Amino acid sequence: MSAADIIAALAAVVPGAEYQALESADSDVTPVILVPVEHLMATARALQATPGLEFHAFSDVTAVDFLPHREPRFDVVYHLVSPHRRARVRLKVRVARDQAVPSVTPVWAGAGWMEREVFDLFGIVFEGHGDLRRLMMPDDWEGHPLRKDYPVQLRKDAATYMPLQVTAEEFRANLERDRTVRPRPKEGV
Amino acid sequence: MGLETEFEIPVLTTTVESVVQWARKSAIWPVTFGLACCAIEMMAMASSRYDISRFGAEVFRGSPRQSDLMIIAGRLSRKMAPSLRRIYDQMPEPKWVISMGACASCGGVFDNYAIVQGSDQVVPIDVYIPGCPPRPESIIYAIVQLQKKISASKMDQTPKVRIA
């Protein structure tokens, strides 16, 4: 299924969206389609649910930073697979710095951690993601390391302190619960 | 140390300190703790071909509470540094640390934001091993150097200077 076929199938389901087929070295295996960010959610739902498309499996989401050369600077890249049709498609969404992208987790729940990774390393915010925390870097990290304007050879002291995972109250509550639930050994056995 | 011969049986006299330090250096128990590819060489050191048990240091312990040597085998990421420090803090005194390889000693080829540029920022290091990765013979040499350091040090030494 070529990019033109997929765009023709989508055009009937997503009215008003202007798609563009992009060239790439592997576009005969994986068609590449440029999607406007405002139509991303409708496109995602259509790709998953439309008979004949049925891209049920979410493979990956990543991003590319074209900082000095292009504005808007980011490409957010989605890889989708239709396992039973043995077909793949790659979607690209162009976003600027501080521009949010809708999260595709309502369509493919497996996108959650991958969107967290893109948020962590590129600083792209996914709106509607239920739990958009950092994935790779420590929770208190400043900046997004895979952006082209990030100082890679950063000089700063290593943190040696790890905050407790539970509060003192939660720890005591867990302890008390274990004590009450666990049956006491019988005497004289 | 001297051999006393005026008794019925020969008696060897020594100091408590030299006996304690001899015992400590002859049974260095490393904590099972590998960070990257250096850990493969560390495992090779413990295997029968290189056989670190010849030097009394083969008992890799699964708990820091039973260990007295930490071999930092690999690059230390900034996210790992608090965990490494916590494991070090959980080890009982006296304890020693070997920084194994270029990455643990100075960051190595990873001159970037994610890697601690020298694990001596996090824990005090006794012996540094060069190499990328060091061969098992290098680690054995480091352990022998550490044994020399232990026998030369005082028994009741105060804990090392804590960083951060």
Question: What single string gives the DSSP state of each residue in B88-143?
Answer: HHHSPSS-EEEEEHHHHHH-TT--STTB-S-GGGTS--SEEE-SSSPPHHHHHHHH
Strand partners, A172: none
**Min Cα separation B57/chain A (Å):** 28
Rounded CA separation A162/A115 (Å):
25
Q: How many domains does chain B have?
A: 1
Starting at the edge strand that comes first in sequence, how are the strands of the sheet with A57-65 ordered? A20-22, A32-34, A87-95, A74-82, A57-65
pLDDT per residue rounded down to tens, chain A (189 residues)? 889 999 999 998 998 889 999 999 998 899 999 999 999 999 999 999 999 889 999 999 999 999 999 989 999 999 999 999 999 999 999 999 889 999 999 999 999 999 999 999 999 999 999 889 999 988 888 899 999 999 888 888 888 877 667 788 888 888 888 777 666 667 765
**pLDDT for A39-70, tens place per residue?**
999 999 999 999 988 999 999 999 999 999 99
Output the pLDDT for position B76.
93
Q: Residue A32 pairs with which residues in a beta bridge?
A: A22, A90
Q: Which stretches of chain B drop beneath a pLDDT of 70?
A: 1, 156-164
Name chain A contacts of B86, Cβ cutoff 8 Å.
162
Q: What is the predicted pLDDT for the residue at A127?
A: 93
Does A188 reside within a domain? no
H helices of chain A, where? 3-13, 40-49, 112-122, 168-181
Report the number of distinct structural domains present in chain A: 1
How confident is the model at residue A180, as a pLDDT?
Answer: 75
Q: What is residue A60's three-state secondary structure?
A: strand
Q: B54 lies in which domain range?
A: 27-152
Report pLDDT for B164: 44
Task: State how far the Cα of A35 lies from the Cα of B12, in Å rounded to an integer.
Answer: 87
B109: contact with A, CB 8 A cutoff:
no
pLDDT in tens, B26-69: 999 999 989 999 999 999 999 999 999 999 898 999 999 999 99
Which of A152, A158, A160 has its CB closest to that of B112? Answer: A152
Q: Does B8 fall in a domain?
A: no
Which chain A residue has the Cα nearest residue B122? A160
CATH number for B132: 3.40.50.12280
Domain extent for A89: 3-157
Q: Which residues does chain B have within 8 Å of residue A137's beta carbon, measured at their own beta carbons?
A: 79, 114
Per the document, the length of chain B is 164
| A167 assigned to some structural domain | no
Global pTM reads: 0.79
Nearest C-alpha of chain B: how many angstroms from A34? 33
Closest CA of chain B from A180, distance in Å: 29
Asked, for residue A177, whether it belongs to a domain, the answer is no
Q: What is the CATH number of the domain that holds A54?
A: 3.30.460.80
